[in-house]
Every structure is written in structure tokens, then in C-alpha cells.
Amino acid sequence: MIMNMIKKTFFLLPSSKFLSYSWNYGSMLGMVLGLQLLTGIFLVFYYGGSMPFDDVQYIMYEVTGGWVVRCLHFNGASLFFIFIYCHLFKGLFVGGYRLYGVWFVGVIMIFLFMGVAFMGYVLVFSQMSYWAAVVITSLVTVVPIWGESVVFWLWGSYSVVVSTVKLLFVLHFLLPWVGAVLVMMHLLVLHFFGSSSVLGCHSDYDKIMFFPKFWFKDGVNMMFFLVFAWSFLLWPFVLGDGEMFLVSDIMTSPRHIVPEWYFLYAYAILRAVPSKIMGVLFLILSVGILFILGVVRSNMMFNVSSKIVYVFLFSGICLTWLGSCAPESPYVILSVVMTYIYFSMIFFLFSMAWVTKMIYY
């Protein structure tokens, strides 16, 4: 039964011949997720959580081949989010948010893996990750009545301590397997609802088997993946921060607290809002806006919607750069402007949906 399911999914699956290489990011994400799960299992062998920073140094310098496994896991997260954002941009560009089931499961996975990545960032327990954990977990205090109690439960003390790391370590190990289940759900829903076509052609009219054409296309992408993996082994910490090599010090904070690069756009939005409550709300909406897109029903022309998506992409890139800058003028002002542009896309889509409904109906 299992072999029959694999055969129908990976060999005999009817697929549209119009799918380009942009549709291969899903298979790349599955491959990187498998790499992360495998390297994570090996890292768990030597990471105890009682002395987190020393455990990481032991893996790097004492365990045979430990630096390779750790660098693959560390940079695999960056590669994973590169493919996530490429996959997301493709979905926005071709209107994939109109496939409600596929889109909603995908957005839930983005939220889940962002949380998993943040937990892994804290497990190093370096100077930067410690203070990032203090700042981000403190945001939970905006929840009325229960906020401070939840933060105290997360910390296990009056500050981020070793017990906090152990809690996040357990969640960081378990939640990726929940993500793997969501990936299978995503595939099942995708096979049920189908995929969007940039050409506007109905996929039922002209289909071919998944093997061998799409196997070959996935193989080409795998070659690019191997090139990325090799470059990350040559320059393993090119995407990291120098403060990650310093042990945490509760008495002194870094000059500029920044998360990993794939969270910078959300961090810039958080800093752009002076109110703490509204800042947390906009921080959640930086990804939650994708849920709202799922309810957009529009027959707008493709070239109109694609231009809006390009503006959305431009604002996201600018916010990523601004999030890495110090919280001072003119960067904060620019962050406010780009935040307005970032969230304006949803209003453009709703307004265009209303206009086209008035014209055609």
C-alpha cells in the first residue's frame, strides 16, 4: 500500500506541462527539511542544554565532524527560508492565494517554522541570542491579564535562564516533526485542489506523468542546492553575527540587538511602531497578512496584480535591510514608510477586487 502511494505520488502523478522551474521550490524545501531533521538528530546526541554555549563549542571543536553537521544545520535554516520566500513569492505572483486550503496550510507552516527557527537561535545562548530571547519573549506581556504569567512560565525564572533553554530545546526538537506532518497535509491538499497556472490554462487539458520530466527538473535544482551547501561550508558564518561567538552576559547588552536575517523585515516593522501593543500586532500581521490574502476573490488582470506583488517584494527587501540598521534616524523613518507600503498591498488587492466586481458583475 505504501509503495503504491509512493508510485502514484512521485511517478504516475498527472502534472501540467506548463509548470516551470518556479514550481520546484516545494521539492527543494522538502529536501532541506529532511537535511535539517537529519542533522538535528545528530546534534541532539551531544547537546544537553545544561551548559548550552559550552555544548555548542564542544560540538564544534571536540566532536569529529561536528563542525560540518552544525554548519549544515545552521546554514540549512537560512537556505530553508530562502526557498520559503521564493516559494511564497511564486504563490503571490501567480495568485496561489485563491487556492484556500493549500494557501492556509502553507501560511501555518511559515508561522511554525519561524517559531522553530527562533528557538534554535536561542539554543546557542550567545550574547546576541540571549538578548534577542529576552526582547522577543518579553513581547508576550502585551497579552491582557495572562501575559506576565506566560512569560514567567516560559522563562522558568525572573529572566532567561538555563531552564528556558531546556524548554525551547524540547520544543525545537518536537515541532519540526509537526511541520513534517503539515508538509504531508500540504501535499494532500495540493493534489486535491490543484496548483495555479501563470498562463491561465486549465491543468486538466494537457497533463503528463511526473516521471521523468519533473524528476529531471528537480535534479537540476538539486545541483544548485549542492553548490549552495558547498559555499556554506567554505564560508559557514557569512550570514551570522559576531556576537554569536560571545558567551551571554546578563550585565551588558549588545550595541544593536538583531535577529537572524530572515526575521529582519518583521523586526523592522516592530521597531517602526512606537506603541508596544500595536507593534506586536503589526509584527504578527507581517506574516498574518498572508491569511487575509486567502479571502481575496478577484478576476483582476494578471499584469495589475503582478505589479502590486513586485511592490510588496521591494518593500520586504527594504525592510530587511532597515532591520539590520541601528534604530536611529533616518532608518526608523524609512521603516515607517516601508511598513505603510508593505501593508498597502492588501488594500490594493481588495480595492481592485471590488472594482473588477463592479465592472464585470
Q: DSSP letter string over 94-150? A: TTGGGSHHHHHHHHHHHHHHHHHHHHHHHHT-BHHHHHHHHHHHHGGGGSTTTHHHH
> What's the Cα-to-Cα distance from 251 to each of 131, 248, 295, rounded to whole Å?
11, 9, 48
Helices (H), 194-297: 213-234, 264-272, 276-293
217 is catalytic: yes
Summarize the confidence of residues 97-101 as an average pLDDT: 81
Q: Identify any residues that bridge with 14 across adjacent strands, giving them in sequence order.
A: 209
3-state secondary structure of 240: coil
Which class in CATH covers the domain with range 2-257?
Answer: mainly alpha
291-307 pLDDT per residue, tens: 887 776 555 555 556 77
> Considering 186, 241, 260, 315, which one is annotated as catalytic?
260
Question: Residue 35 burial by CB count (10 A; 0-12/13-18/19+): exposed, middle or buried?
Answer: middle
3-state secondary structure of 15: strand
Pairing of strands 14-16, 207-209: antiparallel
Q: What is the pLDDT of residue 203?
A: 53
Q: What is the pLDDT of residue 283?
A: 93
pLDDT for 269 beyond 70: yes
DSSP string, 252-267: ---SS----GGGHHHH
Q: Residue 188 has which C-alpha cell?
A: 494532500
> Considering 15, 191, 324, 344, which one is annotated as catalytic?
191
> Considering 16, 195, 196, 248, which one is annotated as catalytic?
195
256 is catalytic: no
195 is catalytic: yes
Question: How many other β-carbons are positioned within 10 Å of the β-carbon of residue 193?
Answer: 14
Which comes out higher in pLDDT, residue 113 or 98?
Answer: 113
Separation CA 186–CA 24 (nearest Å):
15
Phi then psi dihedrals of residue 207, to 5 deg: -125, 155
Summarize the confidence of residues 14-21 as an average pLDDT: 69
260 is catalytic: yes
Q: Is the dihedral of CA 200, 206, 207, 213 positive or negative?
A: negative
> Considering 73, 129, 218, 335, which one is annotated as catalytic?
218
> Considering 15, 22, 203, 217, which one is annotated as catalytic?
217
Q: What is the pLDDT of residue 291?
A: 86
Q: What is the pLDDT of residue 80?
A: 93
Q: What is the pLDDT of residue 300?
A: 52
Separation CA 279–CA 276 (nearest Å):
5
Rounded to a whole number of angstroms, the CA Rg of the chain reads 22
Q: What is the pLDDT of residue 333?
A: 93
What percentage of the chain reaches a pLDDT higher than 70? 84
DSSP string, 22-73: GGGHHHHHHHHHHHHHHHHHHHHTT--SSSHHHHHHHHHHTSTTHHHHHHHH
3-state secondary structure of 172: helix
pLDDT averaged over the chain?
83
191 is catalytic: yes
